[in-house]
Structures are given as C-alpha cells and as structure tokens.
Structure 1
Amino acid sequence: MTAKTYAFPHGGLPEQDVNPEGTAIFTTAYAVIPAHTMRDIVTSLLPGWTRTRAWVLARPLSGFAETFAQYAVEVAPGGGSDTPEPDPEAQAAILVASGTMRLTVNGTAHTLAAGGFAHIPIGAIWTVHNDGPAPLCFHWVRKRWHAAPGLQRPPLVITSDHDVPAQTMPNTDLWSTTRFVDTTDLRFDCHVNIVTFQPGGRIPFAETHVMEHGLYVLQGTARYLLNTDWVEVGPGDFMWLRAFCPQACIATGTEPFRYLLYKDVNRHPALTL
C-alpha cells in the first residue's frame, strides 16, 4: 500500500538563472497557485502567534469565492499561539502535514501528528503549540459559522486521516472520500475532506455546483479541468474555485492523487448581497 503523504510549501527562493515564467493562473472562475510560487517572500507573520509564518492561499474576495480563508502555517519549535483566531464568529478545520501539534480546546489537550484532523467549532477556546524538535506544518481553513433555526453549534471533532476509512463513490473503487465529520449533521455548514483517486481514476463529468472550493494537493498528480481549461497539478499546488466553476480530474502517475477539499454546504443562499 502506498504511504500517505501530506505536501506543504517548501519556501526558499529560486536561483537567479530560473525562468520566471510560471504556471500560476488567476481567472474570474478559478485560480491555481502552484507549489513553486509559495516562497519565503510571500509569507505573513500573524498577530498573536510566535515563531510562526503563514502562506495565505485564499481569502474572501467580492465576486469570487467569498466564504472562507485558507492558510498553510509553519510553527518553529517553541512557537504557537494562545489566541489563534481573531474572529469570534469563526470556526476552524486543521490538518497536520508534519511535526506534532499540541492543540488545547476548552482546557483539554490533544496531540496531533501528520494526518491529524480537527474541526474546532465557533465559540471554542483553543490554543496551538509546537513542543517538538521539528517544525509543525499544518493546513488551516477558517469560515464564519452561519446559524440556522433549530440548529445548535457543531461539536468539536478530533480524529485522523489514518483512523477514518475512506468511502468509495458509487460504481467505482478508484475514487473515494475521507469524511471527517458526519455529512448528515446539519450543524456543520462546511466540510473539509480528503479526496483520493487511484491512478487512472477520475471525476467522470464536469461538476458544476454552488459550493466554493479550496483544493490543496497533498499527494500525486492529475490533469484537472477548471472551467474550460485542463491544468497539470501535483503535490503542493492549490486550486481555488468560485461557485459554479465546472471541474473534473483524471489522476495520472503511479501513486494516489489526494487533495484536501473545502466546500460550503447545508445552508440556504442569502437572497441579498
């Protein structure tokens, strides 16, 4: 069985003889931020965090994707935050790529290693620290929770990619999804999953739907359809899709193609802007 890996930006800076012409794309329907563009000079330092830098890969943009922000966060040994989230209306989804995270939520400490996942609900008091000898690298999705009549806030979820079995899609064993929360639980207004395609697996139609997406490629390679364009993607590449952007993919190479997927779900669309 192929080992699971979790790509993360490698930073650094290309040599001066490297051709700057790249494969980054930004359109009115989608964006592609390739791994090789995620360099040291585009990181941010975050208020309330120590010994930490972040690549901000997505943020709400009027007329584009508006529901979420997505980061890749690197915490040096001894770093972290007692006040990680500045927005009291926000929830968080976290996937650890490497290192060890000490995540404390409402006074209870949890240790997350590579593949560890947490969905932290609105209103939780949480902290993140790196007590280990190596950098802690994790993916972080932030979204404001939208209340709905009769629904309480969602619960805390702490689990791992290694503990949640992937669910195959109908009629195929080449396409599966690791769902970290109960998809029938309407308290959750977003899902952050890992989608896996075995070599040769595909989305066999151009999905066209209301959900916005952030897709961070964790492992493997594919040809990905974005609107009308086929794009080659691999580990560390990020795709950012607005609502109704057609999409499909065909996994290439000899190992599974896996990506971390955000989508907004389970709420009525607002009828005013």
Structure 2
Amino acid sequence: MSNYHFPEGGLPPQTAIHTGRAVFTEAYAVIPRGVFSDIVTSFLPGWEKTRAWIIARPMSGFSETFSQYVMELAPGGGSRSPEPDPKAQGVIFVTDGEVWLSLDGQEHELGPGGYAYVPAGTAWRLRNGSDHPARFHWLRKRYEPAPGVPAPTAFVTNETEIAPTPMPGTEGRWATTRFVDPDDLRHDMHVNIVTFQPGGVIPFEETHVMEHGLFVLEGKAVYRLNRDWVEVEAGDFMWLRAFCPQACYAGGPGRFRYLLYKDVNRHVKLGGAWEGRGA
C-alpha cells in the first residue's frame, strides 16, 4: 500500500529560520514541501469548498505545455463545471480521501491511487461526498490533434491495478507505472508514477525535449537538476524545462516515488508560439 504525501497547509511559526530549499533557475524550479502554506493557495471559479496549490503553469521561455494543481476539497466540495477551457485535457490522481467523478454520464468513486484521464471537451463533474477532506492532483494540457490520429477516450483506473514496468537492466530498482501505452499516439502527454528502490539510480544525465513536473509522493533522494545535485523528499515538487539535464540517486531507507508529467508523441512546432500551447 502506498503512502502518498499531501500538503497540510498552515504556516511556519514565527520562530522558524529561513533554511528552505526553494529555488527557481533558468532550467528548473524546486518547490519544497514547506512552501505549501495557506497563504499561497488559490480559490477557483466554478469550485466550491475547494482550495488549490498551483505549482506549475505555462511560462514563456520556461515550461510551456502544462499546468499542475494540488487540490483540497472540504466535505461537500467540488465542481459541476471544473474545466473552463474546452481544449484542455486533464488527469486526476487521488492521494487522500475519496472523490465522486461523473465522466460523460458515468459515475466513478476514486480513492487513494485513483487515476482518471479526461479528454478535451468531455463533460465531467467532481465532488467530495464524504465527511473528511479529499486531496488530488489535477494536471491540464491543451490537446494537440495530429492528422490521421483519433483523439483519446476517457478512462478510470487505480495504480494498484497496473504492474510497474522495470527499466531494462535494473532488476526492478527503477520502474514506471504507465497508465497509457507509450506507443499509443492518441495521447500527447503521459502522467506516470516512477519508483526507485533504495540504491536505484538514473545512471546518466537525461537531456531531452520533454518538459517535466515531478511531485514526490514518497521517500527521499538526491536529484541532479542541470548543474546541481538537490536533495528532495516527499511533498517536494520539481519543475523542469525542456533539455534540463537530470539524474537521480535514491539513497533510502525506503523507496522513492514521484508523479511524473511529460509531453510526448507530437512534432515540434516551428516558428514560435502557436494555437494550442499552454493550459
């Protein structure tokens, strides 16, 4: 059973000293768990009894394809019209409590580990019908159609229903829970869970066109970001622009896991900004 970290809010005491790890550079940002305070939450139109930590948004010259929210619903909270952008697709990943999701008229209950893909233009609603808070990640990206490729369809699953795929030659020390087949060209984004056992590593500096959002769900590790080695733990968020070098060493004592976003399966657009970039 997984132990998914979620923000607790509140404020540091007046006696706290500034030894945080928050940083924003030309290639990456780290938003550590201690930054998730009450005063940086947002309240969103169309949502009731809900607050959100907005931890990524499209920014020109940095990471341009997606937004990521950490959502907290009080009992009775939710939305009948959650997505204001008809071109935006989304992924919901539940970390705490339960939510009721209506997706194209089908009702679903999602508990911890619950995952839903919501295609662009889909009618959906979400609420917390329990007597305790519910928390989830909501990732949004404008869908980029491709000639001859049909749009993806909605689906709901749970992490526990999908066996992680070990990376070649790692004996399972590094594995990815893939909610979408990498060869399915209908999808232009992947939101997966990456797991490292203690001692597992990314043994080279990945440098690639995909942008990343990495929210640490469990454990701790040392992560290479551009020129720097950064210690991260459950509740931290790493935000990487395209071509930012990255690597990882999971020192333990427990496993290290994060929710990973990346944009995939589309040609590079030429000539600067274009219709459909951002969310």
Among all aligned residue pairs of Structure 1 and Structure 2, give the percentage whose two residues are the same amino acid.
59
What residue number does 1:194 align with? Answer: 193
Unaligned runs of 5+ in 1: none
Residues 162-196 of structure 1, C-alpha deviations (whole Å, 9 max, x = no match): 11110000001100000011211100000000000
Q: Report 1:16-165 matches (<5 A).
A: 16-165=14-163
Task: Report if the CA contact (8 A) 2:90-2:118 is conserved.
Answer: yes
Superposition TM-score, scaled by structure 1 size: 0.98
User: Counterpart of 1:267 in 2: which secondary structure?
Assistant: coil
**Aligned residue pairs: how many?**
271
Task: Report if the CA contact (8 A) 1:157-1:181 is conserved.
Answer: no
Report the CA distance between 1:134 and its aligned residue.
1.1
- Provide the C-alpha distance between the structure 2 equivalents of 1:50 and 1:20, rounded to a whole number of angstroms: 34
Q: In structure 1, what residue type is equivalent to 2:265?
A: N
Report the CA distance between 1:21 and its aligned residue.
3.7
Q: In structure 2, what residue type is equivalent to 1:262?
A: Y
Runs of 4+ in 1 over 6 A off after TM superposition: none
User: Counterpart of 2:160 in 1: which secondary structure?
Assistant: coil
User: Counterpart of 2:95 in 1: which secondary structure?
Assistant: strand
Q: In structure 1, what residue type is equivalent to 2:97?
A: G
Report the CA distance between 1:249 and its aligned residue.
0.4
User: Counterpart of 2:39 in 1: which secondary structure?
Assistant: helix
Report the CA distance between 1:253 and its aligned residue.
1.9
Task: Report if the CA contact (8 A) 2:101-2:124 is conserved.
Answer: yes
User: Counterpart of 1:73 in 2: which secondary structure?
Assistant: strand
- Provide the C-alpha distance between the structure 2 equivalents of 1:263 and 1:157, rounded to a whole number of angstroms: 19
Q: In structure 2, what residue type is equivalent to 1:6?
A: Y
User: Counterpart of 2:13 in 1: which secondary structure?
Assistant: coil
Report the CA distance between 1:205 and its aligned residue.
0.3
- Provide the C-alpha distance between the structure 2 equivalents of 1:135 and 1:272, rounded to a whole number of angstroms: 46
Residues 97-140 of structure 1, C-alpha deviations (whole Å, 9 max, x = no match): 00001000111110000000011111110001000111010011
- Provide the C-alpha distance between the structure 2 equivalents of 1:104 and 1:255, rounded to a whole number of angstroms: 36
Task: Report if the CA contact (8 A) 2:42-2:53 is conserved.
Answer: yes
Q: In structure 2, what residue type is equivalent to 1:187?
A: R
Report the CA distance between 1:255 and its aligned residue.
1.1
Unaligned runs of 5+ in 2: 273-279
Residues 199-242 of structure 1, C-alpha deviations (whole Å, 9 max, x = no match): 00010000000000000000000000000100000000000000
Task: Report if the CA contact (8 A) 2:101-2:109 is conserved.
Answer: yes
RMSD value over aligned CA atoms?
0.6
User: Counterpart of 1:102 in 2: which secondary structure?
Assistant: strand
- Provide the C-alpha distance between the structure 2 equivalents of 1:100 and 1:203, rounded to a whole number of angstroms: 34
User: Counterpart of 2:201 in 1: which secondary structure?
Assistant: coil
What residue number does 1:240 align with? Answer: 239
- Provide the C-alpha distance between the structure 2 equivalents of 1:64 and 1:183, rounded to a whole number of angstroms: 25
Report the CA distance between 1:38 and its aligned residue.
0.6
Q: In structure 2, what residue type is equivalent to 1:72?
A: V
- Provide the C-alpha distance between the structure 2 equivalents of 1:225 and 1:26, rounded to a whole number of angstroms: 15
